[in-house]
Structure 1
Amino acid sequence: MTWLLLVAGLVLLVVGADLLIKGAARLASNFGVPALVIGLTVVAFGTSAPELAVSVKAAYSGQAELAIANAVGSNIFNVLVILGIAAMISPLIISHQLIRQDVPIMVGITIVAVIMTQDGSINKLEAGILALGLVTYTWFLFYQGKQKGVDVSDGEVEEMLNAKVPMWQNVLLVIGGLVLLVMGARWLVQSAVELATAWGVNEAVIGLTIVAAGTSLPEVVTSVVATIRGQRDIAVGNVVGSNIFNILCVLGISGLVSPMPLLAGEQLANVDIPVMLAVAALCVPVFFIGSVLNRFEGFLFLALYVAYVWVLIAMALSLGYLAQLQDVVLYGLVPFVLLYVFITLVLDLNKRRGQQRIN
């Protein structure tokens, strides 16, 4: 029954987020809100709705550590698994804006989250700073879009807004989406706590793995479908944008509405959140190299995620081979990835210099 509740909660979260996005976007359009604003606000907030619903519910239910673990786990999953799978389907194109602007913003915001959680929690003031960052970032995207003369954020938003649906149906979609999100979050948090108790592990471990992967399902679908359709730049932009919103929106709003500070235990503060920063920082050189994420790099991303989750589970269950596994990861897999990145980066820089001399 616990697993059934978990799956049902995930389904409700995904369906609820989809209904909420469609209803809210069309309602905003009915009131004359430009498509650009809808794409940058309603749709962007909507894709983070599952993470937000779960984190808020967890905070209110007394599982304050689960609230942070969900956002942290989602960010790690987004980069290593979603981009890994998408790149293995087809090499992903990295736009210059992502390299110069969005990825550095993602890394910068992740550093802020690392600093905030060093004392073991995110208090109201820190949550307020993150929420203010969310408002500032959204305004910046809107201003940038207007400067470039962009009318819509992408084809899906345009298609969604062109559908002729009565206003009352849109209202029902918003209400229905919110109800499903609340129910899904309640069931997911309840089942996560029960699983943690049954397995004798910290709730944060469940939040970093099962819950994080489940709440990232909308991003999985969006990025994989975009890759299959040949929109290989959208897949990367979706993940980077989602990671920025997870920190600013999920942690910011959850921290503001929570009756207690969001907790980051010793493992979260010293292991998992630094891993989130390392994963974000890894994107900088990897994305810069040739402005493409190739299939082998996608495989490396997936291998890193498998290793991370394996170590996480081994630590939680105090498995006998934990020390050997950590040695393999720290002195084998991680150095190999860093060496690969260093060599390919040097080769790419030499190639760029050669092209500049020719030109």
Structure 2
Amino acid sequence: MILEASLYILFGLIALVWSADRFISGAASIALNSGMSKLTIGLTIVAFGTSAPEIIVSMFAALDGSGGIAVGNALGSNITNVGLVLGTTALIAAIPVSRKVLIGELPVLFAVSLLAGFVLYDRQVDWYDSILLFAGLGWFLFYLYRKQVNASPEEDTDEDEVDALTGLSTSKAWMNFVIGLIVLLISAKFLVDGAVTIARVFEVPELIIGLTIVALGTSLPELAASVASALRGHHEIAFGNVIGSNIFNLLVVMAVPGLISPQPLDPSVFVRDYATMLGLTFLLAALMAFDYRRGKPFGKVAGSILLAAYVAYNVVLYIQL
């Protein structure tokens, strides 16, 4: 049983990363061919695409009655995105801090994070909470629409960046999009089934599995997208991808279990896991502001601090088992 569950998780993770890459490249190409700006692509198409594993995994977890995995996946993925994904990306390639991200998208993430805290405070995500989160999603999409309408034409003049990002024809983009989505559904089901089995065999709380193994697995597309974006010089997408993905995780992924199978949550979800996520978001903002004021890129020092915080959090999780 353990071997079978481990193989389920391994297959799920590998297929998840492969399919997410196809899904994202297809969706981003379609968006670019339609004239969408690079920053908006990072905040919506790429972010939603890299959040697709979290969304689908949480959907299957909620259907299986594993609310801990569903909510843990949302919070754990955000912690992983900031600590591991941005930390690793900054170690590989220093990222210049954009003022419009610092004063534009980051405050939006704070607002959404506070909304998530309001939802989690009573230790349950129910139908009404989900509606509230989806209302927040509607506001966020309207905000992005207004940004797109008011975007300066200079934002999309670099043809090399556009070619490096995608380079797919519309027909091939749609093929990647559809195939990626189908494999995403299958791999997410394998990952959830394997994770639930491991949790039950070793008597590890499903919440911990969701916060760690599942969150790490579903955040691998964010890691790949952010590192690739930074190496290619798409600095806005590197930050925008993580910030946008975290916003989608809170507004969509966390809303899924409330719509499908509302369940009481462990008290530690708010006092430990949500608090850690919010603290890491504040830490990220402080590091970005510090580097921006010095005129320095977001580099190895900032990346090391975020990685250390991520490792410390995971150590605390397993010490408390």
| TM-score, shorter chain, exceeding 0.5 | yes
Instruction: Give 1:101's match in structure 2, choosing from 98, 101, 104.
Output: 104
Checking the alignment, whether the CA contact within 8 Å between 2:47 and 2:242 is kept in structure 1 is no
The equivalent residue for 2:310 is: 305
Instruction: Tell me how far apart the structure 1 counterparts of residues 230 and 28 of structure 2 sit (CA, whole Å).
Output: 24
Cα 1:103–1:41 change in 2 (3 A) is: closer
RMSD value over aligned CA atoms?
A: 2.6
Instruction: Tell me how far apart the structure 2 counterparts of residues 6 and 217 of structure 1 sit (CA, whole Å).
Output: 14
1:242 aligns with 2:235: no
Checking the alignment, whether the CA contact within 8 Å between 2:74 and 2:250 is kept in structure 1 is yes
Cα 1:89–1:177 change in 2 (3 A) is: closer
The equivalent residue for 2:20 is: 17
The equivalent residue for 2:287 is: 286
Instruction: Tell me how far apart the structure 2 counterparts of residues 27 and 257 of structure 1 sit (CA, whole Å).
Output: 30
Instruction: Tell me how far apart the structure 1 counterparts of residues 149 and 157 of structure 2 sit (CA, whole Å).
Output: 11
Identity %: 35
Which letter maps to 1:210?
I
Cα 1:81–1:227 change in 2 (3 A) is: same
| 1:111-122 paired onto structure 2 within 5 Å | 111-122=114-125
Indicate the SS of the match to 1:269.
Answer: helix
1:178-200 superposed Cα distances (whole Å, 9 cap, x missing partner): 22111111111111111112222
Checking the alignment, whether the CA contact within 8 Å between 1:68 and 1:263 is kept in structure 2 is no
Checking the alignment, whether the CA contact within 8 Å between 1:91 and 1:232 is kept in structure 2 is no
1:137 aligns with 2:177: no
Indicate the SS of the match to 1:93.
Answer: coil
Question: How many residues are aligned here?
Answer: 310
Indicate the SS of the match to 1:244.
Answer: helix
What is the deviation of 1:74? Answer: 0.6
What is the deviation of 1:18? Answer: 2.7
What is the deviation of 1:314? Answer: 1.0
Instruction: Tell me how far apart the structure 2 counterparts of residues 283 and 153 of structure 1 sit (CA, whole Å).
Output: 30
Which letter maps to 1:187?
F
1:270 aligns with 2:275: no
| 1:202-217 paired onto structure 2 within 5 Å | 202-217=205-220
The equivalent residue for 2:63 is: 60
Checking the alignment, whether the CA contact within 8 Å between 2:46 and 2:241 is kept in structure 1 is no
What is the deviation of 1:63? Answer: 0.3
Instruction: Tell me how far apart the structure 1 counterparts of residues 168 and 94 of structure 2 sit (CA, whole Å).
Output: 33
1:163 aligns with 2:168: yes
Instruction: Tell me how far apart the structure 1 counterparts of residues 209 and 138 of structure 2 sit (CA, whole Å).
Output: 30
Instruction: Tell me how far apart the structure 2 counterparts of residues 271 and 182 of structure 1 sit (CA, whole Å).
Output: 30
Checking the alignment, whether the CA contact within 8 Å between 1:104 and 1:284 is kept in structure 2 is no
TM superposition score normalised by structure 2:
0.87
Which letter maps to 1:68?
V
Whichever of the two has the greater Rg, that structure is 1
1:14-58 superposed Cα distances (whole Å, 9 cap, x missing partner): 22223333444556788xx44349836443321210110101110
What is the deviation of 1:122? Answer: 1.1
Instruction: Tell me how far apart the structure 1 counterparts of residues 5 and 245 of structure 2 sit (CA, whole Å).
Output: 29
Query: Unpaired runs of 5+ in structure 2?
Result: none
Instruction: Tell me how far apart the structure 1 counterparts of residues 314 and 157 of structure 2 sit (CA, whole Å).
Output: 35
Higher mean Cα deviation, 20-29 or 297-306? 20-29
Instruction: Tell me how far apart the structure 2 counterparts of residues 153 and 220 of structure 1 sit (CA, whole Å).
Output: 27
What is the deviation of 1:123? Answer: 1.2
Instruction: Tell me how far apart the structure 2 counterparts of residues 182 and 175 of structure 1 sit (CA, whole Å).
Output: 11
Query: Unpaired runs of 5+ in structure 1?
Result: 317-359
User: Which gives a bigger RCO, structure 1 or 2 (Cα 8 Å, sep 6+)?
Assistant: 2
Which letter maps to 1:299?
S
Instruction: Tell me how far apart the structure 1 counterparts of residues 55 and 193 of structure 2 sit (CA, whole Å).
Output: 16
1:136-175 superposed Cα distances (whole Å, 9 cap, x missing partner): 2122112212212347599666667753354xx6555444
Instruction: Give 1:220's match in structure 2, choosing from 199, 220, 223.
Output: 223
Checking the alignment, whether the CA contact within 8 Å between 1:67 and 1:262 is kept in structure 2 is no
1:179-222 superposed Cα distances (whole Å, 9 cap, x missing partner): 21111111111111111122221011011111101101111011
What is the deviation of 1:95? Answer: 0.8
Cα 1:278–1:262 change in 2 (3 A) is: farther
Checking the alignment, whether the CA contact within 8 Å between 1:120 and 1:266 is kept in structure 2 is yes
1:192 aligns with 2:195: yes
Instruction: Tell me how far apart the structure 2 counterparts of residues 298 and 42 of structure 1 sit (CA, whole Å).
Output: 25
Checking the alignment, whether the CA contact within 8 Å between 1:68 and 1:262 is kept in structure 2 is no
Cα 1:152–1:66 change in 2 (3 A) is: farther
1:85 aligns with 2:100: no
Which letter maps to 1:314?
I
